[in-house]
Amino acid sequence: MNSTPKHYLPLSRLLIILTAVALAPLARAQTDTTSTPSKKATQDDIITLTPFTVRGDSAADGYRVDSTTTGAKINTPLNELPITINVLNREFLTDMNVYKVQDATAYVAGVTNANRNENDTETYTIRGFQSSSPLRNGIAFNSITDISNIERVEVAKGPAAILYGVVEPGGVVNYTTKRPLANYAATIEETVGSYSLYRTDFDFNVPLNDSKTLLFRVPGAYSDKDTSQKYEKSKTFFINPVLTWKLTPKTLVTFDYSYKKETGNFARGGIIGALQPNANFPQAVSIFNVPGFGEEYGTSFPGGHLYNQHSYGEIRVEQIIDSHITLQGIFSQDQFHFDDVSAFLNTFRTPAAANVSLPTSATQLTSQFFPFDERYRTKSRYYEINALLRYDLGKVHTTTLLGVSGTRMVESEGAFYITPGPFPFTVDPSQPDAVRFAAMPADTSNFVKWFDYSLGATTPGFGRANLFVTEQIGALDNKLHLMGGIRRQSYADVNVTKTLPQIGGIYEVTHGLSFYATYSGTDKSNGLRASDQAVRPLETSKGYDFGFKLDLLDSKLTGSIAYFDIKKTNVKITNPGGFIDQTTGQILPGADNVLIAGEAEAKGVEVDLQARPVKGLQLGLGYAHTDAKDTKDTDPALQGSTFPGVVKDALVFFGKFRVEGGVLANLDVGAGMQYNFGTVHYDAITNPFYGIATHGNTKNIHVFAHYPIVWDKHRVTLGLAVNNLTDDRYFVRSLELSDARQVLFSAEVKF
Query: What is the DSSP track for 542-591?
Result: EEEEEEEEEEETTTTEEEEEEEEEEEEEEEEEE-TT-SB-TTT-PBPTT-
Torsion 283-286-289-293 (CA) sign: positive
Instruction: Classify residue 581: in a domain, yes or no.
Output: yes
pLDDT reported for residue 63: 92
DSSP 702: E
Cβ atoms 570, 600 nearer than 8 A: no
Beta bridge pairs of residue 234: 225, 264
What is d(CA 483, CA 403) in angstroms, rounded to the nearest whole number?
A: 16
Q: If we measure between CA atoms, which residue out of 440, 135, 443 comes closest to residue 301?
A: 440
DSSP code for 248: E
**Residue 273 belongs to some domain of the structure:** yes
Which residue range forms the structural domain that includes residue 728?
Answer: 185-350+363-750
Rounded to whole angstroms, the Cα distance separating 670 from 656 reads 4
Q: Residue 431 contacts by C-beta under 8 Å, 6 or more apart in sequence? A: none
Whole-angstrom CA distances from 237 to 15, 198, 203, 206, 234 are 12, 12, 14, 22, 10
Instruction: Report residue 473: phi and psi, to 5°.
Output: -130, 125
Give the pLDDT confidence score for residue 283 in this predicted structure. 43
Give residues with Cβ within 8 angstroms of 420, minimum separation 6. 446, 447, 448
What is residue 741's DSSP assignment?
P
Using CB atoms within 10 A of its CB, is residue 696 exposed (0-12), middle (13-18) or buried (19+)?
Answer: exposed
C-alpha–C-alpha distance, residues 560 and 652, integer Å: 15
User: What is the C-alpha separation between 666 and 658, in angstroms, rounded?
Assistant: 6
Determine the pLDDT at residue 360.
59
**Which residues of the chain are under the pLDDT cut of 70?**
1-49, 55-60, 116-121, 161, 166, 267-301, 344-368, 422-431, 433-440, 442, 455-464, 578-579, 581-587, 637, 681-696, 733-736
Is residue 223 domain-resident?
yes
Check which CATH number belongs to the domain holding 483 and give it. 2.40.170.20
Closest CA to 301 of 447, 119, 439: 439
pLDDT at 442: 67
Q: Cα 222 from chain centroid? A: 20
* Distance set, CA 585 to CA 257, 576, 606, 736 (Å): 52, 17, 51, 39
Structural domain contains residue 393: yes
Return d(Cα 375, Cα 356) in angstroms, integer. 39
> What does the DSSP assignment read for 40-105?
S--GGGS----TT---TTSSSBTTB--EESTTTSS-EEGGG-SSEEEEEEHHHHHHTT--SHHHHH
* Rounded distance between C-alpha atoms, residue 246 and residue 736, angstroms: 47
Q: Are the beta carbons of 695 and 730 closer than 8 angstroms?
A: yes
Structurally, the chain folds into a number of domains equal to: 1
CA distance 749 to 24: 10
Looking at residue 725, its pLDDT comes to 95
